[in-house]
Amino acid sequence: MSTTEQQKKRVAILGGSGFTGAELYRLLNKHPHFEVQFVSSESKAGYPVDKFYIGSIHKKKLSSLKFKKISELDGHYDAVFSCLPTSSLPKIIQHVAEHTDYIFNLSGDYRISDPDILHQHYPETLKHAFEGGWHYYIPEFSKINLEAKVVNLPGCMAVATLYTLYPLVAHDLIEGRVITDAKTGSSGGGKSTTEHHAERSHNFRAYKVHGHRHQPEVVHALSYHLNQTIDLQFSVYSLDLPRGIMATSYSLLKEHVTDVDVKKAFYSTYSSKPFLHYFNSGNGSPMIKTVAGTNYAEIGAYVDGRNCVSIATIDNLIKGAAGQAIQAANNYFGYSEEAGLTFEFEGAWP
């Protein structure tokens, strides 16, 4: 049966009026196997979806789809993509779970299972019991768990940081404390951010030196996937850019580990991953501008003696959110991992 003859999977988007929801709607509308049939927004209910999204302004034919309230979700969907703000999904998860096979969750509520960390960063997860099960899923590293109803995608800064550290930890090349600084564009704060343009424009500042919730997420992910625990100092900085993340990790190599060992570790880990570009030659370095508008990550690792600096860049709204979620859904439904995501850089250079 040809692709055009196959019935597309019915999908719903929750929280469709935010930056991530809008990006997800845009990408899914180009996907060969998924069809968006429900988009929620409590504040925009009843308003035509295509008239709200700036990205639809040049469409010759607009969709008849209108925003609905989550309470109006009915029928069955093969997948629900939740782009709701953190703490929102646990309150309604029982209702949503009744109408879908899988919930691909882009918020933080079910990323961590440790009760103490949940109490600190995601208290609503503890308040609302859910027996459907959840699974932390990184498309490049995780195994599919078909028994879990909720498939949790990593946070944008967390996954960029994981790309800088995963090969080093997996090959047991580092020791001691790891320091990561993550720089993020303004869309990472969502539409509800209280930061004024005058504070961010033509500026660069630290906005969360200690205590960011992606720090325990990175530690948890490495422990969960590799059974290794790291001591991580994680600080976050604001960039004067609308989108993009650069994560830089500083680590100490074990004695007798060489530059060649590091190159082999990164190359063997990433050479078969379609969306991860490792600068193996040493003649390039990750940039934000070359990944913005794509589902690609650029990764580099640079050694001086025992000092290793590893860098990763991604588009926070695509590889760090909407594109990563589609990549996960492709894997779960048995499609090509690259389906609907092979568009090139959609901006201009330089």
Nearest to 42 by CA among 72, 2, 79: 72
Sign of CA dihedral 54, 157, 195, 89: positive
pLDDT of residue 189: 64
Q: What's the first-to-final CA gap in the chain, in angstroms?
A: 43
Query: From the candidates 24, 84, 156, 246, which is the catalytic residue?
Result: 156
Residue 60 corresponds to which tokens in the numbers above?
Answer: 């010759």
Q: Is 308 a catalytic residue?
A: no
Query: pLDDT tens digits for 102-136?
Result: 999 999 888 888 888 887 888 888 888 888 899 99
Which residue in this structure is represented by tokens 């330089």?
Answer: 350
**DSSP3 helix / strand / coil % (the chain, rounded to 5):** 30, 25, 45
| Axis-axis angle for helices 156-170, 214-226 (nearest 10) | 40
Domains and CATH numbers, the chain: 9-153 (3.40.50.720), 156-316 (3.30.360.10)
pTM over 0.75: yes
Sign of CA dihedral 214, 253, 296, 271: negative
Q: How far apart are CA 296 and CA 19, in angstroms?
A: 19
Higher pLDDT, 280 or 138: 138
The one-letter amino acid code at 37 reads: Q
Q: What is the mean pLDDT of residues 264-286?
A: 91
Query: pLDDT tens digits for 229-262?
Result: 999 999 999 898 889 999 999 999 999 999 999 9
Q: How far apart are CA 242 and CA 189, in angstroms?
A: 10
Nearest to 138 by CA among 147, 121, 149, 151: 151
**Alpha-carbon dihedral 163, 337, 89, 148, rounded to 10 degrees:** -100
Q: Which helix (H) or strand (E) holds 115?
A: helix 115-121
pLDDT of residue 211 exceeding 80, the answer is no
Q: How far apart are CA 134 and CA 103, in angstroms?
A: 9
Rank 48-52, 272-276, 288-292, 346-350 by mean pLDDT and report only the highest. 272-276
**224: Cα separation from own chain's centroid:** 18
Q: What is the mean pLDDT of residues 339-344?
A: 85
Q: What is the mean pLDDT of residues 162-190?
A: 92
pLDDT of residue 2: 45
The DSSP code for 150 is E
Nearest to 132 by CA among 89, 83, 195: 89
Residue 78 corresponds to which tokens in the numbers above?
Answer: 């093969």
Note whether 253 and 173 are within 8 A (CB).
yes
Q: How far apart are CA 82 and CA 290, in angstroms?
A: 28
Rank 116-120, 174-178, 207-211, 240-244 by mean pLDDT and report only the highest. 174-178
Identify the weakest region by mean pLDDT among 30-34, 163-167, 339-343.
339-343
Q: Which helix (H) or strand (E) holds 301?
A: strand 297-304
pLDDT of residue 346: 55
Q: What is the mean pLDDT of residues 257-279?
A: 96
Nearest to 254 by CA among 179, 169, 162, 164: 169
Buried b / exposed e over 103-125, threshold 16 CB at 10 Å, is bbbbbbbbbbeeeebbeebbeeb
pLDDT of residue 46: 92
**299 to 159, 196, 235, 240, 306: CA distances (angstroms):** 12, 31, 19, 22, 19
Residue 175 corresponds to which tokens in the numbers above?
Answer: 């020791």
**175 to 135, 169, 170, 206, 336: CA distances (angstroms):** 28, 9, 12, 26, 37
